[in-house]
Amino acid sequence: MTSDDTPRVPSRPERADVRRNRARLLAAARETFLRDGAGASLEGVARLAGVGIGTLYRHFPTRQALLEALVADVYEGLGARARELADAAEPGEALLAWLRAFVADVTAFRGMAASVLVTLREEGPEPLPSCRTMRAEGEALFARAQKSGDAPADAGFLDVLRLAGAIAMATEQEPALRERLLSLAASGMLPGRRSA
């Protein structure tokens, strides 16, 4: 019997109470992490959601899994923002606006930027579906900026995204520095210098 002959068992829809618990846990984690950072007590998250710690771990076996679920929402928003900017008159400015949104959104709470850098790594498990979508939408903006001459032809989008992630980490505690560092990265440290 080949794998194609194996009978398929239809997947059962998720129970309503399971969906509700997951939604409550995410809302509680968002509120707790905004206040106390990503290192906040998971017991406190469960308590705020009105469930036991076992329920939290059934949904999110690790702190990173919980953080990635929150980051997935951010990625969906960033994908939508990239689509809004896709036809902007100035591709370079559109890309920079999107990178500004990226840095601002991934620093919503202390510790979030580090989780984002983990999800941006190419090695390891498959990226989150929302991360793949966000990257594809952002890469389309980047390719358009390259085509117009507003982004270096020899640069890779993932490197630009990682640079934005590093700026996010560096400015998590000092949001006033974000624009300055993004502008510095965008203009290059040595203006007029040509690549060898």
Per-domain boundaries in the chain = 15-61, 63-187
- Cβ-contact 95, 161 below 8 angstroms: no
Instruction: Please state, as a whole number, how many other Cβ atoms lie within 10 Å of the Cβ of residue 136.
Output: 12
Alpha-carbon distance 74 to 33, whole Å? 14
Question: What type of residue sits at position 187?
Answer: S
In sequence order, what are the residues at sequence separation of 6 or more whose Cβ sits closer than 8 angstroms to the Cβ of residue 136?
79
- 15-61 shares its CATH topology with 63-187: no
Q: What residue ranges of the chain have pLDDT lower than 50?
A: 1-3, 123-124, 192-196
pTM assigned to the model: 0.78
- What is the reported pLDDT for 164? 93
Residue 30's Cβ-count burial label (10 Å; 0-12, 13-18, 19+) is middle
Matching CATH number, 63-187, of 3.30.70.2190, 3.40.50.1820, 1.10.8.10, 1.10.357.10? 1.10.357.10
CATH number given to 15-61: 1.10.10
Q: Which amino acid is at 195?
A: S
